[in-house]
Amino acid sequence: MTFLSQTFAQFIAAPPIGVVLCHEEREAMLALSVSPRHYRPHTPISRQGDVEPRVFFIQSGWACVYRDLPSGDRQIIDVPLKGDVIGIRAALGPNYNSLGSITDLSVYEISRSVLTKAVLQMPVLSRFFMRVSARQYAIVTEHLTNTGRRNAMIRTAHYLQELGARLAAIGEGNENGYECPLTQHELADVLGLTAIHVNRTLRELRENELVSFRAGVVEFLNRQKLSRLTSFDGDYLRMN
Amino acid sequence: MTFLSQTFAQFIAAPPIGVVLCHEEREAMLALSVSPRHYRPHTPISRQGDVEPRVFFIQSGWACVYRDLPSGDRQIIDVPLKGDVIGIRAALGPNYNSLGSITDLSVYEISRSVLTKAVLQMPVLSRFFMRVSARQYAIVTEHLTNTGRRNAMIRTAHYLQELGARLAAIGEGNENGYECPLTQHELADVLGLTAIHVNRTLRELRENELVSFRAGVVEFLNRQKLSRLTSFDGDYLRMN
DNA sequence: CGCAGACTTGAAGATTATCAACCACCGTGG
DNA sequence: CCACGGTGGTTGATAATCTTCAAGTCTGCG
């Protein structure tokens, strides 16, 4: 467990994107008893309706929080990345979303009971979780306005920019783009579109020299033009 | 202030929908210094980007949290009702959403500084806010899957059911329906549709003997048929 | 080689938006 | 009291957006 905590310490040192930890908060986090786990790509981790929910800190890899509909469709709510925390809310009540891995996924897992006790004993922790929670709310809010009020092209471009900004914040990708393991079908489930329409939309974005997403890599072809189109503003991703 | 606290005490006694307060939490809440305010219908209360955010507890009336787009469109994120809490997250960082009243609106207002101090001193409070936060996340999540993966008819019906369930939980409306002050245009901004299309969709719902929304009142014409259509499940609105 | 999964393209159809009227109601001011 | 304007609601015709169906390509891998 010492070794594990050691790794967790390293994780904490590189704070979850945008959510900066103060000294006290870091200390409190380190007192938590966590267990590391690994999941293969495309494995379900928990399903909506599950009891005994847990909280996950992503150490590496891409995950995916989604909701299944009786029609067979699904809506992806968020794609958490390294440093993101999953299931804070589920730890307080029933779990309404499903969780799965997209790539190979390494996480630190904390049980609900450990967490709730810890929060009550260490008030600073609550501040941390509230901040994480705030960021997540801002993200879904943006996805909602994305699907509600932007057409396929702007919507897709906006989301690719969001991913870029989130990855940049954790030191992945570069000025020109990033690697993205999402399939077009998964992207469609994020954006509330058809995989086929996503395909066409991506082609259009490419032909218009805005963004290109091919063979698992997203390339920004003209960031200025792109930002003019989407009016993307990554502020909602940062919390301080 | 004694008198005001008194009123707030009554408010706390009738706990925010679905979020049940335990004795400790109630006590902690009462220790907060709150100020009551009133807003006329359709007045902006705070705009996205505002500093010095506050937290609001709705005492009566309908409010509306939304996001404005450069295109002139807007997306309504949520329509908080009596007992709902607004701005918990904004109190922790920048404010990304705008807030306005829809009807006459009475609220209790708490400043950011008072709140953050209170949470650190009274850990139970954080549990309360986390629970409120969890419910709100569940609600946006549902709105996201609503706009992302359900067509106009199911989407509209589903939302009218959500409003019904939320109102029922605070003792408003009855078996057959409820009063709804939203205009078709506002409803459109909630659902990510055009006002015109909302109009047509409402007519269709009426003609199919499912729900009727006319002259400010929503009437459920056939709840069974409606639930078969939407597969609405109000569990996401409850937290315990 | 052959198969499976992801991606691509075309043609046709459904859903939703846009444009342009028009109606009904309500509060205001002459 | 009535004319007036404004807002919210309603309807039709037309256009854009997105989905569905159907078929095909490409690639990695047993």
Extents of the domains making up chain A: 3-138, 150-237
Q: What is the pLDDT of residue A20?
A: 65
Q: Which residues contact B213 (CB under 8 A, 6 or more apart)?
A: B160, B180, B202, B205, B206, B219
Considering only CB atoms, B147 lies closest to which of A70, A90, A148, namely A148
Q: Tell me the CATH number for domain B3-138.
A: 2.60.120.10
- For B203-215, what is the mean pLDDT? 97
CA atoms of B60 and B84, how far apart (whole Å): 10
Identify which of B198, B205, B171, B168 has the alpha carbon closest to the alpha carbon of residue B182: B198
For residues A5 and A86, which has the higher predicted lDDT (pLDDT)?
A: A86
- Helix, strand, or coil here: A38? strand
- For A138-162, what is the mean pLDDT? 97
Contact B34, B108 (CB under 8 A): yes
In this prediction, residue B2 has a pLDDT band, given cuts at 50, 70 and 90, of: very low
How close, in Å, is residue B227 to chain A by CA atoms? 12
Q: What is the pLDDT of residue A2?
A: 41
- For B169-187, what is the mean pLDDT? 95
Fill in the DSSP letter of residue B130.
H
For residues A19 and B21, which has the higher predicted lDDT (pLDDT)?
A: B21
- Helix, strand, or coil here: A142? helix
Identify which of A237, A217, A210, A28 has the alpha carbon closest to the alpha carbon of residue A129: A28
Mark B201-221 as b/e (b = at least 16 C-beta within 10 Å): bbeebeeeebbbbeeeebebe
For residues A123 and A146, which has the higher predicted lDDT (pLDDT)?
A: A146
How close, in Å, is residue B88 to chain A by CA atoms? 8
In this prediction, residue B1 has a pLDDT band, given cuts at 50, 70 and 90, of: very low
Q: Which residues contact A221 (CB under 8 A, 6 or more apart)?
A: A206, A209, A210, A211, A212
User: What's the pTM?
Assistant: 0.93
Q: Using a CB-CB distance cutoff of 8 angstroms, which residues of chain B are in contact with residue A121?
A: 123
Report phi then psi at A75, rounded to 5. -120, 120
Q: What is the pLDDT of residue B172?
A: 94
pLDDT by residue (tens digit) across B28-44?
778 788 899 999 999 99
* Strand ranges inside B112-151, DSSP E: none
Contact B240, B233 (CB under 8 A): no
Residue in chain B nearest A70 by alpha carbon: B231
Mean residue pLDDT across chain B: 89
- Helix, strand, or coil here: A100? strand
CA atoms of B53 and B88, how far apart (whole Å): 9
pLDDT by residue (tens digit) across A78-130?
999 999 999 988 777 677 899 999 999 999 999 888 888 888 788 778 888 88
Identify which of A10, A116, A16, A100 has the alpha carbon closest to the alpha carbon of residue A57: A16
CA atoms of B112 and B87, how far apart (whole Å): 9
pLDDT by residue (tens digit) across A153-211?
999 999 999 999 999 999 999 999 999 999 999 999 999 999 999 999 999 999 999 99
pLDDT by residue (tens digit) across B119-175?
878 878 888 888 888 899 999 999 999 999 999 999 999 999 999 999 999 999 999
- CB of B211 lies under 7 Å from some atom of strand C: no
Q: What is the pLDDT of residue B173?
A: 95
Contact A201, A153 (CB under 8 A): yes
CATH 1.10.10.10 fits A150-237, yes or no: yes
Instruction: Say whether residue B152 is in contact with chain A using an 8 A CB cutoff.
Output: no
Sheet of strand B177-179, all strands in order from the earlier edge strand to the far edge: B177-179, B217-220, B211-214
Identify which of A125, A123, A127 has the alpha carbon closest to the alpha carbon of residue A32: A125
Q: Using a CB-CB distance cutoff of 8 angstroms, which residues of chain B are in contact with residue A124?
A: 120
pLDDT by residue (tens digit) across A11-52?
777 655 556 677 777 777 777 888 899 999 999 999 887 777
Q: What is the pLDDT of residue A1?
A: 43
Is the confidence at residue B4, as pLDDT, over 70? no
Q: Using a CB-CB distance cutoff of 8 angstroms, which residues of chain A are in contact with residue B119?
A: 123, 126-127, 130
Tokens representing B22 are 């335990």
| Across A78-92, A138-152, A179-193, B81-95, least confident range | B81-95
- For B80-103, what is the mean pLDDT? 87
Tokens 């997306």, residue located: B75
CA atoms of B43 and A10, how far apart (whole Å): 49
Instruction: Say whether residue B151 is in contact with chain A using an 8 A CB cutoff.
Output: no
Tokens representing B31 are 């220790």
CA atoms of B73 and A112, how far apart (whole Å): 41
Adjacent-strand bridge partners of A65: A78, A99
For residues B99 and A117, which has the higher predicted lDDT (pLDDT)?
A: B99
